Amino acid sequence: MGLYLVATPIGHADDITLRALDVLRRADLVACEDTRHSGRLLQRHGIRARLFAYHEHNAESARPALLRRLAAGGAVALISDAGTPLISDPGYKLVRACIDQAIPVTAIPGPSAPVAALLLSGLPSERFLFAGFLSAKRAERRATLGELAAVPASLVFFESPGRLADSLADMRDILGDRPAAVARELTKLFEEVRRDRLALLAEAYAASGPPKGEVTVVVGRAEPDRVQAIDLDRALMVALESQSLRDAAATVAAATGLPRRQVYARALALAQSAKP
C-alpha cells in the first residue's frame, strides 16, 4: 500500500527500470498526466492498469479521490508524461498530503531530463541548481536570473523552444558570457546537445529559429572571483527593474549571502546614479 513515485522514459519506451514495471503491474491505480500517452507506454509493456488523470489543471479536485484510495490501503503509482514525477508538476502536493496523513511514500528512481542534460553538458556537476522554467515575462525572467547570478553551482533550466533565444540572451546579459549547453529531445532519436558560450548560443538560436522538441539549458557556475562588485551591480540592476529598492536589496542579499546593509547601500547608490 502507499504512493509510489515512478520515473518513466523521457524518450525510448524501453528506458524504464524493471522495478518500475513491477510496481506499475501491481498498482491498483496509475495516476498520470495524460491517460492516452501513459496508456501507450503501459500497453507496450503488457501492463493492464486502471488510469486516473492527475495534472496541474485538475489536481485540486482530483487529489481527494487519490487520498481516499490510499487511506483505504490502496497502492497508487504516480507517473508523469516523461521522466521523474514531481519535477515541474503538481505531484509534490499529493506527497505532502500523504506525509501529513502518515501514508507511505516510495520513490522508484529513473530518467530525469535535468540530470541527463547536466551529464551531457560537460559542465561541473558536483553542485547544481535546478530552477525549472523561467518566466515568459522578460522582466520577471531577468529578475530571477539576477537572484541566481552569484550561485556557485551549475544552473539547469527548462525552456520552451519559442523563448529559447530570448532566454539565452537574458542569461548572457545577467549571468555573464558563461559556458553553457542546450540539450533537446533527450534520449530520443534526434537528441542534440550544443555546447558553447551563452552569447554564441543566443546568436545561433536567434538566427536559426526555435528548435523542435523539449529543451533543457545548463549554464556554468559563477566562479568565486567573479562574484564581486560587477556581479552585485548586475544583480541589483535586474532586481530594481521589477522591485522596490528595499525589496531588491533583500532579494540580492539573500541570493549572494552578502550583508543586507552592504547590499542596500549599493542599491541606493545605483538608484541615485540612475537619476537624471
Whole-number pLDDT of residue 187: 83
User: Averaged over 127-140, what is the pLDDT?
Assistant: 93
The more confidently predicted of residues 83 and 274 is 83
Q: How far apart are CA 186 and CA 92, in angstroms?
A: 24
Residue 258: its pLDDT value, please?
Answer: 77
pLDDT in tens, 139-167: 889 888 888 887 889 999 999 999 999 99
Note the pLDDT tens digit of each residue in 252-272.
888 777 788 888 888 888 887
pLDDT in tens, 59-71: 999 999 999 999 9
Residue 167 near residue 134 (C-beta atoms within 8 A): yes
* Strand 192-197 versus strand 179-184 pairing type: antiparallel
Which residue is associated with the grid cell 542534440? 192
Task: Say what the pLDDT of residue 271 is.
Answer: 82
Q: Which residues pair with 184 in a beta bridge?
A: 192, 215
